[in-house]
Amino acid sequence: MSDQRSVLLIYTGGTIGMLADPRTGELRPMDMAHLEDQVPELARMGVRLEAFSFEVPMDSSDIGPDHQVRIASIIGEHYDRFDGFVVLHGSDTMAFTASALSFLLEGLSKPVILTGSQLPVGVIRTDARENLVTAIEIAAACDQEGRAMVPEVAIYFEYTLLRGNRTVKVDAQRFEAFRSPNWPALAEAGVRIRYNKAAILEQSNVALKVHSKMDDRLAVIRLYPGIRPDWLRHALAMPDLRAAIITTFGSGNGPSGGDFLKALREARGRGVELLNVTQCIGGRVEQGRYTTSVAFRDMGVVPCADMTLEAAVSKAMFLMARSTGPDWTRDMGSILAGEFTMA
């Protein structure tokens, strides 16, 4: 049997796979069969590559839970035939898809590396080639025993590998588009790729289970000084709403005015679960640290520790799909795929 490593490339869309129309300059998705013409290095990597492409490549702004489930199921269907997976995806919502995949692919023991680029692959100064080549190298990398170096869902961008469900997109123009504020990088690519073993998840010893449902009956409400309680009440009155993530100030704080809290209590009374995610890029929610978060704690708002909004949205959708009652909120406090740090 050949010991050549194998990687499946899954192209969902995004700038990375686009070519500029020579006449108009408009960016259009390119045929994945021509990827090697654009990145001839692929043929010299010594990795067996196969590609799978969405029939209609998508801008990642159009990617939703159904597409995330589809990517997970493509990985599931090809899981035994490949050593690793590279998902080419627009960068705009990449952190959401990476988070969702980390929950949908329970027991994952192979690398799933998402990457994309800020400039299309055919452009001279493109970041696509380096991102793609190194993502493939990481997806194929194994230790001396043949175990994957990165048995988890990660994002590779601009010389850095980050845990997918810890990542946020922080820049719309710079090549360094992502950060992982509350967890160290999993690897840095310089002359060699340096893996930060202490930060990488342990190999799973259970079989892969691919989940196929997400429940989108969720809202995200960002607090701001001056938020009107009646607006909040309307937002929370959506008929089939099961949960709302409130993005709060600092360590999980919000206005302490009676009408504001009443609107939240009314929603709780109708069985809407409330989750608390901080608006800060780094740090964590600590309900009860300030008076302005005591009421949240007392009405049973679920604190989301140092989870990113992307991870909290994906985790809530994933957990809600698995239960019809309110018990799923308990699992928000269990670490499923390294998505938060225990206090």
| Positions that interact with ligand ASP (CB under 6 A) | 13-15, 59-60, 90-92, 116
| Separation of CA 321 from chain center | 18
Considering the complex, what minimum distance in angstroms separates the CB of residue 85 from ligand ASP?
A: 19
Sign of CA dihedral 199, 196, 312, 170: positive
Considering the complex, what minimum distance in angstroms separates the CB of residue 43 from ligand ASP?
A: 25
Instruction: Return the number of the residue (92 or 306) whose C-beta is nearest ligand ASP.
Output: 92
Instruction: Return the number of the residue (59 or 106) whose C-beta is nearest ligand ASP.
Output: 59
Instruction: Return the number of the residue (92 or 273) whose C-beta is nearest ligand ASP.
Output: 92
Per the DSSP assignment, residues forming a β-bridge with 188 are: 160, 194
Going through 5-83 in order, the beta strands assigned E by DSSP cover: 6-11, 18-20, 27-29, 48-53
State the amino acid at position 295 in one-letter form: A
Going by C-alpha positions, the residue among 277, 342, 283, 281 that lies closest to residue 314 is 277
Instruction: Return the number of the residue (60 or 276) whose C-beta is nearest ligand ASP.
Output: 60
- Which residue number is nearest to ligand ASP in terms of Cβ? 90
Instruction: Return the number of the residue (55 or 145) whose C-beta is nearest ligand ASP.
Output: 55
* Phi and psi based region of residue 146 (left: phi greater than 0; alpha: psi -120 to 50; beta: remaining): left
- The burial of 17, by beta-carbon neighbours within 10 Å (0-12 exposed, 13-18 middle, 19 or more buried), is given as buried
Is residue 292 part of the annotated active site? The answer reads: no
Considering the complex, what minimum distance in angstroms separates the CB of residue 16 from ligand ASP?
A: 6
Considering the complex, what minimum distance in angstroms separates the CB of residue 169 from ligand ASP?
A: 9
Considering the complex, what minimum distance in angstroms separates the CB of residue 116 from ligand ASP?
A: 5
DSSP state of 195: E
Considering the complex, what minimum distance in angstroms separates the CB of residue 291 from ligand ASP?
A: 41
Instruction: Return the number of the residue (91 or 329) whose C-beta is nearest ligand ASP.
Output: 91
Pick the catalytic residue: 15, 93, 115, 134? Answer: 15
Q: How far apart are CA 163 and CA 179, in angstroms?
A: 10
State the amino acid at position 115 in one-letter form: T
Pairing state between β 273-278 and 243-248? parallel
Q: How far apart are CA 243 and CA 292, in angstroms?
A: 21
DSSP letters, 138-168, are HHH-B-TTS-BS--SEEEEETTEEEEGGG-E
Please write down the HEC assignment for all residues of 225-265.
CCCCHHHHHHHHCCCCCCEEEEEEECCCECCCCHHHHHHHH
* Residues acting as catalytic residues: 15
